[in-house]
Amino acid sequence: MVTIADVARRAGVAPSTVSYVLTNRRSISATTRQAVEEAIRDLDYRPHAGARALRGARTRVLALSFPRETVPYHAIGGRFVHHVSTAARAHGHDLLLLSAEESVSGLRRVAGSRLADGVVVMSVLTDDPRIPVLDELGFPAALLGRPRASGGLPWSDYDFEGAAALAVRELVRAGHRALAFVGSSDAEFRAGLNYAPRALAGARAAAREAGVHLTVMRSSSSHRTLVRRTQALLAADPAPTAVILHHEVPAMPAILREAGYSIPRDMSLVVIGATPDLASDLPVARSELPVQEMTRTAVELALASIEGEVSGGGLIPARWTKGQTIAPPRADHGGRRA
């Protein structure tokens, strides 16, 4: 029995391209369409009638691929799921959550059985194994995150590079010449989550451009490790006069105070990728993660893909909230503060 993969090999294209030609879900060049149609004729390929009917039916369900096995726990994840669900419901769709160990197998199961019309892919890795699978399956999708290569899938994400660069520039404007950047956790870097290296790259590029010193450390879920790394950070030469946190690190203000630093008198503190309900005894200078805008855009891109519309998406610019945690560096800065 001739399969869609046989047609793809004969035409020299991906199976997803054959699917797009058959379903008219995406714009295909005339040359490619002709090659596929010739392969279909040559091989006498006949799509299964039941499969054609199933493809034509709409479930009004949108899947959300959220593979927790590769993602360290963050409370922010629940906020993203909530807003994806809200955005889907606003367009008359229910949400099917693919979690646990279903990063690739779940996509194959849902696409093969047509349990959903399309999928939003969350917790995107820099090199995400779900992207080539979605291309192979020809399943409508949008990425909530920016991988190294999107495989032609539409995507939407927060400008982590721009947010980190903006934080560096705000601190340089206040007079700081020695900065510290507390990046994502070890687990996030190991997992390959796309935002971790992007934010770090943005901070480094802005520091080079401004000619200031940047000391880098990774966050940690272990309080003891976090304290040890922060102590080493504060002892760096030159000693930092300001700290940039990628995501809020709730323990960091207390660790700094225990080390004898008052915020912002002795140490300025800013956060990128902050949640809107960031808890602090001082209004923190920050760039907030636009969760609602990110999720709404990703859902709209996925729905456009279901309709066969080609959409690009892109980065959502970082916006700055001034707060009260930036002050000029003290002239006598160095060592512990009483």
The whole-number pLDDT of residue 27 equals 67
Q: Identify the residue whose tokens are 């940039």.
A: 244
The architecture that CATH gives domain 1-57 is: Orthogonal Bundle (1.10)
Query: What digits encode the pLDDT tens for the residues 30-73?
Result: 888 889 889 888 888 766 544 444 455 688 999 999 876 555 55
Domain 160-289 superfamily per CATH: Response regulator (3.40.50.2300)
Supply 193's token pair: 């989550």
Three-state SS at 2: coil
CB–CB of 253/268 below 8 Å?
A: no
Q: How many CB atoms are closer than 10 A to CB 249? A: 18
Residues in the chain predicted with pLDDT less than 70, given as ranges, are 1, 23-27, 46-57, 68-75, 100-102, 277-281, 333-338
> Following DSSP, what letter does each residue of 41-75 receive, concatenated?
HHHT----HHHHHHHHS---EEEEE--GGGS---T
CA distance 142 to 155: 5
CB–CB of 227/240 below 8 Å?
A: no
The whole-number pLDDT of residue 44 equals 81
Domain ranges of the chain: 1-57, 160-289
The whole-number pLDDT of residue 280 equals 63
pTM: 0.80
Alpha helices, H only, the chain: 4-11, 15-23, 30-43, 49-56, 76-90, 105-113, 130-137, 160-173, 186-191, 195-210, 223-234, 252-258, 291-306
CB–CB of 100/70 below 8 Å?
A: no
CA distance 170 to 107: 42
The whole-number pLDDT of residue 88 equals 95
The whole-number pLDDT of residue 15 equals 77
The whole-number pLDDT of residue 51 equals 47
Supply 274's token pair: 């902050």
CA distances from 214 to 183, 195, 200, 266, 285 (A): 12, 19, 11, 17, 19
CB–CB of 326/268 below 8 Å?
A: yes
CB–CB of 265/327 below 8 Å?
A: yes
Spatial neighbors of 120 by CB under 8 A, at least 6 apart, are 62, 63, 64, 65, 84, 141, 142, 143, 144, 295, 298, 299, 302
CA distance 290 to 87: 14
Query: What digits encode the pLDDT tens for the residues 207-263?
Result: 999 999 999 999 998 999 999 999 999 999 999 999 999 988 889 999 999 999 999
CA distance 32 to 34: 5
Percent of residues in the chain assigned helix, strand, coil, to nearest 5: 45, 20, 40
CB–CB of 117/262 below 8 Å?
A: no
Rounded to 5 degrees, what are φ and ψ at 302? -65, -40
The whole-number pLDDT of residue 69 equals 56
